[in-house]
Amino acid sequence: MRRPVPFRFLPLLCLLWSATGAAQDTLRIGDVQGTGERSARVGEAVTVQGIVTAAVDGGRRGWYLQDGGDGDPATSDAVFIEAEGASGPPITVGQSLRIRGTVAELDAGRGTLTALQRVSPASLKATIDTPRAIRIATAPADWERFEGMRVRIAAPLTVAGTHRLEKQGELIVNFGERLRTPSDAVAPGEAARALAADNVRRTLRVDDGSTAERPETVWFLPKDADLRSGSRVVRLEGVIDQRGGGYLLMPTTPPKFRPARAPKPPKVGGDVRIASFNLENFFNGDGRGGGFPTPRGARTPAELEAQLGRLVATIRGLDPDIAALMELENDGFGPESAVALLVDALNRSGDGDWRFIASEAPAGGDQIRVGMIYRASRAQPVGAAAALADDLFGSRSRPPLAQSFRAGDGPVFTVVANHFKSKGCGSATGAEADQKDGQSCWNPTRTESARRLDAWLRTDPTRSGSDLMMIVGDLNAYTMEDPVRALVAAGWRDAFEGARGESPYSYVYEAQTGRLDHALLSPGLAARLAGAAEWHSNADEPDNRGYQARPGDRGPWRSSDHDPLVVGLRLRRP
């Protein structure tokens, strides 16, 4: 059982009433709450009685009091008792109390919480039975009628996001199957806004009830648990609170989880494997053991070694013949460069045939760039690499890098690594600002990047003479957004189109899954597609499993914030 939060610093002054007077004055809590968003009794002094079901220390301090109900399912049978301004002996969970106070509506960020302020409690001689938890079988259209009440979620729940656990002690769950980023599933605009609203309806925050930042432990989680997104919640019971812009549940007993297992590297078939992987800021300092902390990545040499170990484990697990890389330090191709360090580490751990594509083409002015590595025993570069650098690529989107290859005596094909402008809204104005259609900021820049990329590739920039081309990388655009749709409309084929089972995803943001990383094939190459898959080794992993938090872990898990993808192609002569 959860230990109640102590409030020794908030003792309360007991008020003595006669049994006759109290019985005449006492209201049912449902009568105080009413059926609307706000109580009709705001400003009135009222008396209620019930059981203390939970103590709160999460931004506001106090307790929840619940009675046996008024028989109306449209009203909540619990109310928040504010601790501020009270004095007397402490209140603890499980007490039977009669409380007099003034009805108020407290700001909850979005909506208000009905509360009693300046309260005076008295213990009841006869103990009231603890109210039974209300069973909830589906996601409520409105949580208002459950405000402050003990509930038991009987509906299937999925762990949607763990990104708030480390800082706030808060787990995000959702009713039913996992939530998809709206613009990954439907067209931007009204359809995306409708799906976003439904995602909000299906989402529930599970909070430890404390204001402590970066808690050492979250009491309701299994000890030493690495809870991946996608895990199932088998049992969840607690009290519904309202703060921080929405409703949340404070467990009264530890939930039961069915953890999701980390998947093995995917099998995609074919005879040539091409991977795409966002490295999440792989910087190596000055390349000689100094230059730390780096601008975006490792802060110490030890963190660099941990990051490098995880990236190597991921790439070796994918076992690609060619890999397109994003968020690689833009420090050239010399022996002290980040890409040289990565290839050296891969060669030390394997058979020594990894190489990187060196190019004299412009790489842009950003601190990061795209890159490409390959296995010399499996694929051979054909001609020189080419890059597109203009007023758009290099100043916002990173210049794409194209390199043609041949595998054995098969046909020549071209791989193009890409990293479009991010969705971050810093300095975005006018049309580049968030239009509230689900595509966030810089959508015109990314869409124009897609158009220019298509036009450039139609000129055969590597002079290969082959129509077998592949666009891969982090386009910072979800599947149904304008940049991806512009490329599909131009004739490029999505390697994941028609994927069976769970919708493909490479990124988890705000507890929703979606694809920012794409593989788009020319029609000729699409005819040679054997399979495509992401390896969910990163996006579902909790943030506190990253290399900066656990430098001793050199496995592939949480080596980046993006999942890598791999595409299998039939490109060798039979």
Decide if 440 is inside a domain: yes
pLDDT tens sequence across 372-414: 999 999 999 999 999 999 999 999 999 999 999 999 999 999 9
Model confidence at 84: pLDDT above 90? no
Whether residues 423 and 317 fall in one domain: yes
pLDDT at residue 89 in the model = 65
pTM of the model: 0.92
- Residue 1 in any domain: the answer is no
Asked if residue 537 and residue 462 are part of one domain, the reply reads yes
357 with 446, same domain? yes
Q: Are residues 498 and 358 in the same domain?
A: yes
In this prediction, residue 520 carries a pLDDT of 98
Q: With 90 as the cut, is the pLDDT of residue 544 above it?
A: no
- In this predicted model, what pLDDT tens digit does every residue of 287-323 receive, in sequence order? 999 999 999 999 999 999 999 999 999 999 999 999 9
What confidence tier does 69 reach under pLDDT thresholds 50, 70, 90?
Answer: very high
Residue 217 pLDDT class (50, 70, 90 cuts): confident
Distance, in Å, from the CA atom of 398 to the CA atom of 325, rounded to the nearest integer, reads: 12
Residue 374 is assigned to a structural domain of this protein:
yes
27 in any annotated domain: yes
CB contact set of 290 (below 8 Å; sequence gap of 6+): none
Average pLDDT on 511-534 reads 98
**Residue 524 C-beta-side C-alpha neighbours within 13 Å:** 10
- List Cβ neighbours of 249 (8 Å cut-off, separation of 6 or more): 151, 153, 204, 205, 206, 207, 236, 238, 239, 240, 241
Whether residues 459 and 535 share a domain: the answer is yes
Instruction: Note the pLDDT tens digit of each residue in 30-43.
Output: 999 999 999 999 99
Structural domain contains residue 3: no
Last residue within a domain, chosen from 65, 96, 130? 130
pLDDT digits (tens, 9 = 90+) for 101-126: 999 999 988 889 999 999 988 888 77
**Residue 133 token pair:** 């938890």
Helix (H) or strand (E) holding 442: none
pLDDT at 137: 95
pLDDT at residue 18 is higher than 50: no
Domain hosting residue 344, numbered range = 272-569
Q: List, in sequence order, every beta strand (DSSP E) within 454-501.
A: 469-474, 493-494
Kindly state whether residues 406 and 287 are assigned to the same domain. yes
How many separate domains does the chain show?
3
Residue type, 361: A
* Predicted pLDDT at 129: 83
Cα–chain-centroid distance for residue 215? Answer: 20
Contacts of 378 (CB under 8 A, 6+ apart): 272, 321, 353, 407
381 DSSP β-pair partners: 405
d(CA 323, CA 132): 57
Q: What are the pLDDT digits (tens) for 309-364? A: 999 999 999 999 999 999 999 999 999 999 999 999 999 998 899 999 999 888 99
- In one letter, which amino acid is 22? A
How confident is the model at residue 87, as a pLDDT? Answer: 64
Q: Answer with the one of 258, 289, 308 that is the final residue of a domain.
A: 258
DSSP H or E run through 453: helix 443-457
Q: Which value, to the nearest 10 degrees, does the dihedral of the CA atoms of residues 294, 297, 299, 303 take?
A: -130
Measured CA to CA, the distance from residue 228 to residue 11 in angstroms comes to 41
Q: Give the CATH number, domain containing residue 405.
A: 3.60.10.10
355 and 289 in a common domain: yes
Torsion of CA 79, 84, 85, 86, to 10 degrees: 60
What the block records as the tokens of 411 is 């046909």
236 belongs to a structural domain: yes
Which CATH number belongs to the domain containing residue 242 in this structure?
A: 2.40.50
CB atoms under 10 Å from CB of 438, counted, come to 25
Q: What does the pLDDT look like over 138-174, one tens digit per residue?
A: 999 999 999 999 999 999 999 999 999 888 899 999 9
Instruction: Please list the alpha-helical segments (H only) found in 319-374.
Output: 338-349
Predicted local distance difference test score (pLDDT) of residue 88: 62
* 264 located within any domain: no
Q: What is the percent of the chain with per-residue pLDDT over 70, rounded to a whole number?
A: 95
- Does residue 279 share a domain with residue 248? no
13 inside domain: no
Q: Spell out the residues 6+ positions from residue 320 whose beta carbon is closer than 8 angstroms to its own.
A: 273, 274, 275, 375, 566
